[in-house]
Chains A and B, each alone.
Chain A
Amino acid sequence: MTRDIWLQIAQVITVVVLAPLLQGVILQWEERIQRGQGPGIFQPYRDLWKLFHKQLVVPESATFVYWIAPVGAFTCMLTVPILIPVLTNFPLPLSDMGDILGGGLILTLGSFLIVVAGLDSGSAYGGVGSSRAVMLGILAEPTLILVLVGITLLAKAMLPFVVNHLLVAQPPVYWSPAHLFLVAAFFILILVETDRLPIHSSTHIEVYMIEEARILEYSGPLLALLRWASMMKQVIIYAIFVNVLLLPWGLSRQGFAAGALGAAIALFGKFLVVALAVVFVETAQSRLRYYRYQEPLGASFLLAILAIVANQLS
């Protein structure tokens, strides 16, 4: 029992620690593909360190929302790893607090807090960023729900652990079209949620920015918390993708320390595979005009529907 509690703590710490590293790797690979040198993979850690030692400048129009949003978002991202299989393939203490929908709810709560914070200070950019983020969210939400329904139909359960066990145990299910289409639909969702859609908006500090515009008013430690929270969100979504859907192998079965360590290393390896695909899409796919942002989302909606249709086979 005590060991399980330590494992649960280790899951959260893994997410917290790996988040900047994954971001660093993705940023460097993007530059490398564009034939640049790119920052070192540990640069996000240095950025966070620097931001935590900076002065805090607060806009005069800010209310209490400005203060609680970063902390709340960070807390949400600390909560989700408890619910999903990060290191072990069996449920740990408190992981029965919520199923996949519950995890999705808490993730969305984190984004909601940031949206509200963007609106709070009344700056023009914050409002624009928030409205864009909500627009994309509205379009991404039906797909997310359909993907979850597809997973439920596949495994007859909404618990990520059950899905993981099913996919490991039955190769025909793993290779069934329903599962493959769910993987494809979820991949597009990853691009949306981590702000890496191939539309003309993922470049930073620019007229079409989405994610950056919402946190433009923040500085110092609060900005560091927000940055860290968004990196953690990326890691969490990647973890759900690889450990539940794409590569359900290589998790700790017994729960020993060595196994958990191996699972953490394997997890990072799986992240690298997904990151490679994401970087490839983001750099090789030509950027669409900003107002065509609905096209990838329409495609992922379609894939989710096809997955549900393919589920007829039982």
Chain B
Amino acid sequence: MLAAHLPPLTASLFSLLAITSLLLAFVMLGSRWLVEYLIAFAAQSWLIAILSAAVGYYAGYPELYLIAILTALFRGLVLPYLILRIIRRLNVDRELHERLAPTSSLVAGALLVLFAFVVSTHLGKSLGLAGTVAVLALTVMLSMKLIGFLMLAVRGEALSQVLALLVLENGIFLGSQILVPGMPLLIELVILFDLLVVVACFGILVRYLVSHAGTSSVHELRRLRG
């Protein structure tokens, strides 16, 4: 496994990238403005792109460079652009339907990170990986997933829900880059196009929501009815 045998400075670089993307997930959790979410998401995607390029360089997988470029292009530019267009059209610029205030959700997110920390430390110990980047990547992956779920649970704006899903997916992608580098190229491509489909579907759904329910809050979707 690559992550278990890294020189210290490289390990520092990897962990810095991973932790900074976790920090950006918290920026999303702690802010009320949709545009800020979007910028944080784009920056996170760029960091993950850098990370996969770094993994490609240190582990010797040339196809990861292609994946890095595609990640930066799709997640860092195309998806934010599409969502920005939806935000402009909807005329919503901030989260109004939150169930938990940003500061409280920050603290809740911090507790979730601690939970992920405990889980992955145990996992790392039982796998004999304690003290390596792998454990850190596992923590970051789990906590980004939990933060994504938290955002899905406490945020009411439809666009926040899309972004929460994307954060969740970013977390999985980041973890997989470090833990199992060298997945087949095709899977990565499929995931990228999957995301495009998700965003397109949500765009349609949000417009439907606005035209029929007159609001962009998903709390109005109470009944499973067409």
Contacts from A to B (Cβ < 8 Å): 172, 175-177, 180-181, 292, 294-295, 298-299, 301-302, 305-306, 308-310, 312-314
Contact = CB atoms under 8 A, between A and B. Distances in A.
B51 interface: no
Interface residues of B, number: 33
A301 B117 contact: no
Interface string B90-110: 000000000000110011011
Nearest to A176: B12
Contact of A313 (B110, B117, B133): B133
A295 B102 CA distance: 8
A175 B19 CA distance: 13
Given A177-B15, A302-B110, A312-B117, 10 more contacts: A181-B19, A295-B30, A305-B114, A306-B22, A309-B22, A309-B114, A310-B15, A312-B131, A313-B11, A313-B136
B216 interface: no
B26 A302 contact: yes
Contact of A172 (B8, B117, B131, B135): B8
**Centre residue among A177, A181, A295 by max chain B CB count within 10 A:** A177
B103 A312 contact: no
B107 A314 contact: no
Given A294-B103, A295-B103, A310-B136, A305 B9 contact: no
B113 interface: yes
**Helix, strand, loop or mixed for chain A's interface?**
helix
Contact of B117 (A295, A299, A309): A309
Interface string B6-22: 00110110011001101
Given A181-B19, A313-B136, A298 B117 contact: no
21 contacts: A172-B8, A172-B12, A176-B15, A177-B12, A177-B16, A294-B103, A298-B106, A301-B107, A301-B110, A302-B110, A305-B110, A305-B114, A306-B19, A306-B113, A309-B117, A310-B15, A310-B136, A312-B135, A313-B12, A313-B15, A313-B133
Contacts of B22: 306, 309
B215 interface: no
Interface string B128-166: 001111011001100100000000000000000000000
**Centre residue among A172, A181, A310 by max chain B CB count within 10 A:** A310
Contacts of A292: 103
Contacts of B124: 312
Contacts of B140: 309
A306 B27 CA distance: 13
A302 to B, nearest CB: 5
